[in-house]
Amino acid sequence: MILSLCPNYGGKIFKILTEAKYPVSEATLYKALHRMEARGWLTSEWDLSEAPRKHYELTYAGMVARLNLYSTYQAMIRAVEKVTRHGIIKKEYRS
């Protein structure tokens, strides 16, 4: 997660995702940020020094959630690699 590196504001997060070719709309990103904030995974603070913008920062609960999600993601990757590497799908669907 981008916020695990450092606190950031929504526009910057959107720019990072766009440059990484991750297909997400700004509306979807902000909805996700608000959901994560409601779950206690993020805190936010308004920066009014220039153009008003909201800075988001990962909480401890957010760090734990990130690790759990990452572990689940890694398990899914291992399962897919096992299936494709060992040809399990091919064996099951052979005539």
Q: Cβ distance 15 to 38 under 8 Å?
A: no
pLDDT in tens, 66-83: 999 999 999 999 988 888
Q: Tell me, what's the pLDDT at 83?
A: 81
In the chain, the domains with their CATH numbers are 2-92 (1.10.10.10)
Q: Measured between alpha carbons, how far is 59 from 28 in angstroms, rounded to an integer?
A: 21
The whole-model pTM stands at: 0.72
| Residue 87 three-state SS | coil
Q: Tell me, what's the pLDDT at 61?
A: 95
pLDDT in tens, 18-54: 998 988 999 999 999 999 999 999 999 998 888 888 9
Q: pLDDT band for 87, please (50, 70, 90 cuts).
A: low
Q: Tell me, what's the pLDDT at 4?
A: 63
Q: Measured between alpha carbons, how far is 37 from 56 in angstroms, rounded to an integer?
A: 9
